[in-house]
Amino acid sequence: MEPKRPNAMDERRLFLIGDVPGFSPQIGRLVSMMNYARHTTLSAVEGLEPRHLDYLHDTHSNSIGALLSHVAAVEVAYQAGTFHSRDLNRDEMREWGAALDLGERARREIRGHYLTYYTERLGHVRAMTLAELGRRGDDWLNEQSPFWGGLAANNYFKWFHVFEDELSHRGQIRWLRKRALAAA
């Protein structure tokens, strides 16, 4: 019999920030927030077709598809940084570089996909994050290292940043969704 996976995404607990089975107390709180953020990102793109996911509002805009890829790419980058203390390697940059950078290259390379392409990648990356977080404890979350501008950041901040960046782009996705649906 398969070991029961920690029930990290229990919809009846969507509005509770607190303990999550399978995680240390503070990591559970972090995971609660990551879950809610992801829930709203997925809601924001529900039912979108490739033409909506590829929609470019103007020449400087990112598509919704590119923003979804960016959310996954940022998570991959912070997996490498916080779980393995390294930058993305050449293979990972080949896979995620355009999504990380957004802009011109993302407009050129990230297009023509169905929604499931993006959501499956998000789900796959998230499963790896939860598996790694489940092996760690609150002490790890509090570990500090020099970060932006040489100021100290702890792992709690770094994973907060992963979901706060997602929420920021979710705001843009909600805005773009209305225009993409009206346009096509």
- Taking CB under 8 A as the criterion, the residue among 8, 27, 36, 82 binding a copy of itself is 36
Full 3-state SS string of the chain: CCCCCCCCCCHHHCCCCCCCCCCCHHHHHHHHHHHHHHHHHHHHHCCCCHHHHCCCCCCCCCCHHHHHHHHHHHHHHHHHHHHHCCCCCHHHHHHHHHHHHCHHHHHHHCCCCCHHHHHHHHHHHHHHHHHHHHCCCHHHHHCEEECHHHCEEEHHHHHHHHHHHHHHHHHHHHHHHHHHHHHC
The minimum distance between CB 29 and a copy of itself, in angstroms, equals: 7
Q: Which is nearer to a copy of itself, 3 or 149 (CB)?
A: 149
Residue 59 lies near a copy of itself (rule: CB under 8 A): no
Residue 18 lies near a copy of itself (rule: CB under 8 A): yes
Residue 170 lies near a copy of itself (rule: CB under 8 A): yes
Stretch that binds a copy of itself, among 95-103, 115-123, 124-132, 143-151 (CB under 8 A): 143-151
Residue 47 lies near a copy of itself (rule: CB under 8 A): no
Angle, helix 25-45 to helix 155-183, in steps of 10 degrees:
10
Stretch that binds a copy of itself, among 1-9, 24-32, 82-90, 101-109 (CB under 8 A): 24-32
Q: Which of 32, 45, 13 is nearest to 133 (CA)?
A: 32
Q: Which is nearer to a copy of itself, 37 or 74 (CB)?
A: 37
The minimum distance between CB 136 and a copy of itself, in angstroms, equals: 15
> Which stretches of the chain bind a copy of itself, using CB under 8 A?
12, 14-18, 26, 29, 32-33, 36-37, 40, 58, 60, 142, 144, 147-148, 151-154, 156-157, 160, 164, 167-172, 174-175, 178-179
